[in-house]
Structure 1
Amino acid sequence: MISADPDEPIHVLDLPQIHTKPSGTELIQALSLLTTKPRSFGLKAPEAVRAQAVHPAGIARYLTSIISSPLAWLDTEELREAVWDAAAARLSERSGRTAMPAMSRVFMIPTSHGEEYTLTLHEPSLTSDNLGMKTWVSSYLLSIRLHSLLESPPQLVPTATTTPQLHPERTLRALELGAGTGLVGLSFAALRGPSASIHLTDLPAIVPNLAHNAALNVELLNRTGATVTTGVLDWSVPPTPLPTPAEQYDLILAADPLYSPNHPKWLVDTVTHWLSRGLNARVVVEMPLRDAYLPQVQDFRQRMGQLGLAVVDEGEEVGYDDWESADGGALEVRCWWSVWGWSEKL
């Protein structure tokens, strides 16, 4: 029998057993109690979230007993499918982050005036070739830093030198590269409101979910007066024709952008094409310092310097991703954030 006390652990034998032919409602209720959400992001190690404590012994066997049962006593095929789907989801949740089904996640983004903005992001189930569908901790860390980055020197202001034909009080134009689920760009849009517009970009397979997430947050974006667009931008393909000064951006954002030896060159080439040559133009990046990718981080720094950009501000911080470490604990990730500007300004 399931206890009504949420603090009292449940034993798997207290759950409705298949041999007793429980109702579909009872099974779905029991399976909801076994829901395991991914670890949340944060500046300290979080715990995985469960609806109620359940002794782990026997849970996998319990779930497979439901999946393997024909559930013939349930009235409809739809009800049987709902029970099987829920049991399969609970089993996949216990098989690591990459096995989890599609989910919606909620992020709280601080503002300079003490309010927090709430963003909801959809993440499809993960496969090895669509890791851009996942929100990464460096994106979260950059998003919660944006309100202070944008209001401390050097100011991120529209550049008069980029498009002199426009009014000097025009809105700031921002571009996010490798936007993924859109957390950084959508946070920026809500924080800046009508004072900026932002174009969120990624590869063709990722952009539909990116656009979906922009639509999910339309109420916040409308309330803050934000302007957001989405589109495809492949760093490996030079734009044809090259962007005119009027088409370039005052600010480029990127989080966790380096995954192969080619990425530093492609990323800096893309910055070359799309960043305004105005002296107030900025590039803001945050990336994890993973041992395997430290050469790419160094390559990125060197290429940015060769382009004529220099670090205006930088720092390191530690966050916790929703992957698990080898011992099952929260995975600590050390990240480097930096703000770049044209070196002639410094």
Structure 2
Amino acid sequence: MPVSATIPSILPASSLLRLKSLEDRITYKYSQDRIDQGLDQDGNEIEDPTLHQFRQGENLAEYHANMQWLLRLLAKLEGAAPPQEDDDEEELDNNRDEGADMGSVAKKTAVRTKETPQEAEYRLQHEILTERVASCLTHFCGRAASGAMTRTWTYKTTPPQSLHIHDPSFIGGDVGFKTFGSAYLLSKHIVHGDIPQLEPWTSSSPSSLAASLPLPKTLELGSGTGLVGFAATLVSNPQGPRVILSDYHPNVISTLRRNSSLNHLDLRCDIRLLDWRNILQRRKRRQNAWQYNSDTSNGKQPTTEYDNVTKTPSAVEADSDQEISEQDRMDLILGAEIVYDHGHAELVAHVVDEYLKRDLISEDIAIPLARRRPAFHIMFPIRKTHADVIADFDFWMDKIGLVDCRQAKEWGREDGETTFLYHWREYVRKEHLDRNVA
């Protein structure tokens, strides 16, 4: 085994330089600078000569060449690997089974496992280098194969504000393991004051009308890593209700708690378990209970399919202690990348209807209606493969009585790589569309 403790003794300097170049490209790929890099109105990248070095090698042939090189590098490192303690223990077990002199075997093993400082340093450097090469290889296989990462998202406010978001590995997170491009775009709109229901508190010099508005109750659906919900927490009035971040998967809840602590927001937000399927089931049970009561007592038809149904112990089970109370309606509901399956379309529509407040936030007509009406803001990428899912979502939102009062489209990147046209919509109840509503 080489006794030199320096990395160049394990790999040639040229290999180390190439490895560092790949690491720089990977770091830039996932950086906010790359994700924020300008796109024109057609979604094409605005040329910047200073970024040329990071675009080199992005063609398919170079991609495969880098993959093959990294694999060869791993094989070379395997050949230069120091002996492992497990190997020594295995040899000891084999010799014991073969009836060898245990005293001589133990003495030999003790000599081999007693490393010099140079050998210990070599082992450490070899492990570090192997981890670097393996990490590059996983990133070339795509984000789903790569490991955990923690990124800082900085917003151009005065003064600048930042959030630290840990994305777990795919295996460790299972779902909600990455921060989607739609989450970043929606979080920017939140922090920059583009959400009417939050605008009085995101403004650097809020108007006197803000004092007339109650502090809003905010819920994020399908929080994932939590960038959207934490952005809303960042700009909300600390004296107001806690922002609620929700998801259905225990692994995601663990990630949200970690990111909440990472940003010191534990006292300003709540992280709650919320399974959309339970909401839909409860609504259907209430509807069935109403139909039964109507048949037996000639009850009056409710205003909508799922409203104004009196709960009875036999008709509706008690809510889980961990889930959000059905009675706790919200002024603002947020969702990014939460409609990507046909099943989600119906579920999201019913969950929003269940939790979105039915009355105006304020009756003061001096305050613009856009600020006074409860709303659901959603951001999602426009994918041709998901057009039927969005059409299904439109059907259910209209059936529920929620309409989009505002739409906007903008180009953005998914992890600094794939370019999408993103769709941002604001939904309100149909009765709140009337400009003259008091």
Same fold flag (TM > 0.5): yes
Q: Do the aligned partners of 1:265 and 1:300 also contact (CA within 8 Å) in 2?
A: yes
Equivalent residue for 1:39?
Answer: 30
SS at match of 1:338: strand
The equivalent position to 2:242 in structure 1, one of 197, 204, 208, is 197
Between the aligned residues of both structures, percent identity stands at: 24
| Match status 1:61 vs 2:107 | no
Cα distance in structure 2, aligned partners of 1:212 and 1:342: 35
Deviations 1:90-146 (A, max 9, x none): 3222322222111111111244xx332111111111259824110110111111111
Structure that is richer in helix per residue:
2
Equivalent residue for 1:227?
Answer: 268
The equivalent position to 1:136 in structure 2, one of 143, 160, 180, is 180
Q: For 1:342, give the aligned amino acid.
A: R
Which is worse superposed, 312-321 or 244-253? 244-253
SS at match of 2:169: coil
Equivalent residue for 2:389?
Answer: 296
Cα distance in structure 1, aligned partners of 2:346 and 2:168: 29
Equivalent residue for 2:82?
Answer: 71
What's the CA shift for 1:299? 1.4
SS at match of 2:251: coil
Q: Report the TM-score when normalising by structure 1.
A: 0.75
The equivalent position to 2:153 in structure 1, one of 85, 94, 107, is 107
Structure 1: gaps (5+ residues): 1-18, 158-167, 324-329
Q: Do the aligned partners of 1:250 and 1:278 also contact (CA within 8 Å) in 2?
A: no
Equivalent residue for 1:267?
Answer: 348
Cα distance in structure 2, aligned partners of 1:155 and 1:60: 52
Cα distance in structure 2, aligned partners of 1:60 and 1:174: 48
Q: For 1:65, give the aligned amino acid.
A: K
What's the CA shift for 1:85? 2.5
Q: Do the aligned partners of 1:200 and 1:229 also contact (CA within 8 Å) in 2?
A: yes
Q: Do the aligned partners of 2:197 and 2:374 also contact (CA within 8 Å) in 1?
A: no
Alignment of structure 1 residues 160-309 onto 2, 5 Å: 170-194=214-238, 195-203=240-248, 204-218=250-264, 221=265, 227-238=268-279, 241=318, 246-279=327-360, 280-309=373-402
Structure that is richer in strand per residue:
1
- Which structure would you say has the larger Rg? 2
| Match status 1:339 vs 2:384 | no
CA RMSD of aligned residues (A): 3.6
Structure 2: gaps (5+ residues): 40-44, 58-64, 84-117, 202-211, 283-316, 361-372, 434-438
SS at match of 1:193: coil
The equivalent position to 2:138 in structure 1, one of 88, 92, 101, is 92
What's the CA shift for 1:244? 6.3
What's the CA shift for 1:170? 4.4
The equivalent position to 2:5 in structure 1, one of 23, 32, 35, is 23
Q: Do the aligned partners of 1:66 and 1:87 also contact (CA within 8 Å) in 2?
A: no
Q: Do the aligned partners of 2:375 and 2:426 also contact (CA within 8 Å) in 1?
A: yes
Change (3 A) 1:155 1:293: same
Cα distance in structure 2, aligned partners of 1:274 and 1:48: 48
Cα distance in structure 1, aligned partners of 2:4 and 2:22: 17
Q: For 2:278, give the aligned amino acid.
A: V
Q: Report the TM-score when normalising by structure 2.
A: 0.61
Change (3 A) 1:313 1:149: farther
Equivalenced residues, count: 305
Cα distance in structure 1, aligned partners of 2:197 and 2:245: 25
SS at match of 1:262: helix
